[in-house]
């Protein structure tokens, strides 16, 4: 039996991802986004991307917590986003 090879994979662009990312950052800014909420689970990719980009954090004055907060970088990004 001959070995099989999979097709090469690469980055996948998600249609509308920037809008979804902006919605997630806005949710952290204007509402409560708990780290274990249904919203955080449904939009796990957006939450991970926003945190990696430094747009949101769960670090507060007393250490790490259970809620995502928007950072100053996130506010600047939201205000400059052309969506």
With cut-offs at 50, 70 and 90, classify the pLDDT of residue 16: confident
Using one digit for the tens of pLDDT, what is the confidence trace for 49-69? Answer: 999 999 999 998 899 999 999
CA distance 57 to 74: 10
Indicate whether this model's pTM tops 0.85: no
Domains and CATH numbers, the chain: 17-80 (1.10.10.10)
Residue 69: count of CB within 10 angstroms of its CB: 15
Is residue 68 within 8 Å of 35, Cβ to Cβ? yes
**Contact present, 47 and 70 (Cβ < 8 Å):** no
């Amino acid at each position: 039996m001959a070995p099989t090879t999979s097709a090469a994979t690469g980055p996948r662009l998600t249609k509308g991802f920037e809008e979804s990312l902006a919605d997630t950052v806005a949710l952290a800014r204007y509402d409560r986004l708990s780290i274990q909420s249904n919203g955080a689970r449904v939009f796990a990719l957006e939450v991970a991307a926003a945190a990696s980009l430094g747009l949101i954090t769960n670090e507060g004055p007393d250490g790490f917590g259970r809620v995502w907060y928007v950072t100053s970088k996130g506010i600047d990004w939201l205000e400059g986003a052309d969506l």
